[in-house]
Amino acid sequence: MFTTQQILERGKNVLIGNYGRLPIVMARGEGSSVWDTDGRKYIDLFAGFGAAILGHCHPSLVAAATGQIDKLWHVGNTFYTEPQIEFAERLNASAFPGKAFFCHSGLEANEAAVKLARLRGQQSTPRKWKTISLNRSFHGRSMALIAATGNPATKAGFEPMVPGFLQVEAGDFGALESAVDAETAAIMVEPIQGEGGIYPLTLEYAQQLRQLCDARGITLIFDEVWTGGGRTGKWFGYQHFVSPGATSTGDCVTPDIMTLGKAVGGGLPVGVMYARPDIAALLVPGKHGCTLGGNPICMSVAREIFDVIQAQGLLEHARKLGEMGMATIKANRRLTDRIVEIRGKGLFLGIELKSDPTELVEKALANGVIVNLTAKRIIRLAPALNISEETWKHGLAVLMNTIEQL
């Protein structure tokens, strides 16, 4: 047996220091609770950067994983396996008509999307190959995707950037229109900018994007790595882009390609590029692939997550708890001087503070709650969708006390 101090020392010796790790060793989890090696319990309001969408060790997901572990591990994508097909069918049932490519992460899903948009762009004269994205965006950390990411800090030290990527101001449609040229293959945006600080795109802007892409033959990519899989109280973030009075989900602003990660694997490595069938058809053998993409164990869990969310009405639960959380924080007069705004959808919320807090995350942890801070002063909350109302209320109360004491 090692003491926590000894484990921390061992970790520092063997793990690269590219994460700002806290001096805590997490040992086990159940639902929205996790315990460290000293037995301290925390309420998890950030669920593994939003990935643990049904919390820790959900019994149905454990059963799905172990059921598959005993059957078949991996055969490579030259064969069909049923878990892949079943998960893709779940996507079909909840999103626009499309076809899926599976990988392990959001980054890989975005790489595949950008590649596919370029393949499509090859059919035009002149050849379309450029991707426009937004300031304050985050799309991943490969060489291509740091070029697509609208945050100078993510690019710093890795210049020169891969050519063919540029960013414009989020929400400024005029700037976007002027940036588009005959070589623009794709426009890639997050329905709610996550790493940037929980900034939802407006319906009007989304509609303008769709019209522009249709008019100019540009592929519209929605990076739904944060917003996909139920996080926002709808299956996918784009489903919020719906005109008032619209009667069917088909009436929303739909992308040509949607990328998924985080929540769809529930904490296991699953990435998805999901594309309109006519565009997906361009990805023929030899153009793209991923050895472990669509691994049957991960796919069984992904399929089960969709079924649990559906069967337990968790989208509605997420919407209800999200609205309740926003209202509770807004109504707290003791926080009026500290908070600029609270924004987001479903269980994906950002609380913007008036000034940069010191050690907010550490103080919240000391009080027993896991939260995240992004863009220096925006507290992000992304708990499991199945968090109970009681735990959510308690976690928020602890967080609000922590903010008050800053």
Positions that interact with ligand PLP (CB under 6 A): 105-107, 110, 138-140, 190, 194-195, 223, 225-226, 261
Q: How many CB atoms lie within 10 A of CB 20?
A: 6
- Report the residue number, 151 or 401, with the smaller CB distance to ligand PLP: 151
Positive or negative, the CA dihedral 193, 314, 108, 131 is negative
- Report the residue number, 256 or 398, with the smaller CB distance to ligand PLP: 256
Angle at 294 between CA 291 and CA 297, to 5 degrees: 110
Residue 229 CB, shortest distance to ligand PLP, in Å, is 12
User: What are the phi and psi torsion angles at 341 (to 5°)?
Assistant: -165, 155
Q: Is 262 part of the annotated catalytic residue set?
A: yes
- Report the residue number, 36 or 169, with the smaller CB distance to ligand PLP: 169
Q: What is the CA radius of gyration of the chain?
A: 21
Query: Pick from 391, 373, 369: which is nearest to 324 by CA?
Result: 391
Residue 161 CB, shortest distance to ligand PLP, in Å, is 17
Q: Is 330 part of the annotated catalytic residue set?
A: no
**From 128, 130, 234, 262, the catalytic residue:** 262
- Report the residue number, 258 or 403, with the smaller CB distance to ligand PLP: 258
In 203-355, which residue ranges form alpha helices assigned H by DSSP?
Answer: 203-216, 277-280, 296-311, 314-331
- d(Cα 295, Cα 272) in Å, to the nearest integer? 12
**From 46, 96, 101, 138, the catalytic residue:** 138
295 Cβ contact partners less than 8 Å away, ≥ 6 residues apart: 73, 74
User: What are the phi and psi torsion angles at 208 (to 5°)?
Assistant: -65, -40
Residue 108 CB, shortest distance to ligand PLP, in Å, is 7
Integer angstrom CA distances of residue 14 from 7, 9, 11, 165, 352:
11, 9, 5, 36, 36
Residue 143 CB, shortest distance to ligand PLP, in Å, is 13
Q: What DSSP letter does each residue of 285-300 carry, written as one string?
A: TTS---TTTT-HHHHH
Coil vs helix vs strand at 155 = helix
| Element of type H or E holding 273 | strand 271-275
- Report the residue number, 224 or 304, with the smaller CB distance to ligand PLP: 224
**From 223, 241, 256, 306, the catalytic residue:** 223
Q: Which residue is nearest to ligand PLP (CB)?
A: 106
209 Cβ contact partners less than 8 Å away, ≥ 6 residues apart: 173, 176, 187, 189, 220, 253
- Report the residue number, 31 or 266, with the smaller CB distance to ligand PLP: 266
Residue 294 CB, shortest distance to ligand PLP, in Å, is 16
Residue 107 CB, shortest distance to ligand PLP, in Å, is 3
Residue 134 CB, shortest distance to ligand PLP, in Å, is 11
Query: Pick from 94, 116, 68, 48: which is nearest to 284 by CA?
Result: 116
Q: Is 165 part of the annotated catalytic residue set?
A: no
Coil vs helix vs strand at 278 = helix
Residue 355 CB, shortest distance to ligand PLP, in Å, is 25
Query: Pick from 55, 52, 83: which is nearest to 69 by CA?
Result: 83
- Report the residue number, 208 or 372, with the smaller CB distance to ligand PLP: 372
- Report the residue number, 233 or 261, with the smaller CB distance to ligand PLP: 261
Query: Pick from 310, 301, 302, 307: which is nearest to 274 by CA?
Result: 302
Active site residues: 138, 223, 262
